[in-house]
Amino acid sequence: MDLRIASRSALASSVGTQHHMLVSKTQANALRHACKDCARDLTAEAIASAVVEMSQLQWHDHQHMLFAAGPLNATADVMPKSQRRQMQDWSSLPSYFTSDMWEFLTNRSHCTASKLDAIVSFAVKGGLRLPSENTAKIMTGTWLVCTEGPSNFLSSEQKLVYLRHLKSAFHQQRKRVITDTQCAKPPRQT
């Protein structure tokens, strides 16, 4: 898309001038029409690259960038379902905890981090790789009840912090498992 290069120079040269808004609207329109013509032929990586490149242009208003990238976003949304990663719904995960696991989680002498690690490790070792939002909430709720107790009320902001922390710990643990399995490949037979 050579038009992106032209847009970059046109927008950059008009920054700070009274014509910047008009140039920004015109370039957004031109890019939108160019994107409509070629969007169906682009791969997901090319679409992502184009959107990132468009976001780095010096637009007068971010709405101009959204307008220009509209056809690319619409193309990305119609990806066949078979190519999308399927989220795993493991809402009943706590039902599979062993009595030893529950004893560990309810023991007040263990720190919060070790309880989080135990829940996440149990899920990852069981095969959970892409938890659904509901599964993440159940895991977070279990962790909170085991660490804070059922009578401790938290604000929604505090709950969101715990949820984000769990997701971060989960992704770190998942990456560790993936790299461990990649490192433990069986030797090739000759």
Structure confidence by residue, pLDDT tens digits, 58-71 = 666 656 555 656 65
Token digits of residue 182: 């990649």
Question: 26 and 103: one domain?
Answer: no
55, 65 in Cβ contact below 8 A?
A: yes
Question: 79 and 116: one domain?
Answer: no
Residue 165 in this model has a pLDDT that exceeds 90: yes
Distance CA 130, CA 164 (A): 15
Residue 189 belongs to a domain: no
Identify the weakest region by mean pLDDT among 64-78, 95-109, 154-168: 64-78
Question: 10 and 46: one domain?
Answer: yes
31, 54 in Cβ contact below 8 A?
A: yes
128 or 68, which is more confident?
128
Question: 47 and 10: one domain?
Answer: yes
Token digits of residue 9: 């120079």
Based on the structure, what is the number of domains in the chain? 2
Percent of the chain with pLDDT over 70: 51
Distance CA 168, CA 22 (A): 43
The residue type of 17 is: T
User: Per-residue confidence at 159, pLDDT binned at 50, 70, 90?
Assistant: confident
Q: Give me the torsion for CA of 32, 36, 37, 43, rounded to 10°.
A: 110
Question: 6 and 69: one domain?
Answer: yes
Question: 102 and 171: one domain?
Answer: yes
Q: Model-level pTM greater than 0.75?
A: no
Query: By residue range, what is the domain housing residue 75?
Result: 2-83
- The pLDDT assigned to 37 comes to 65
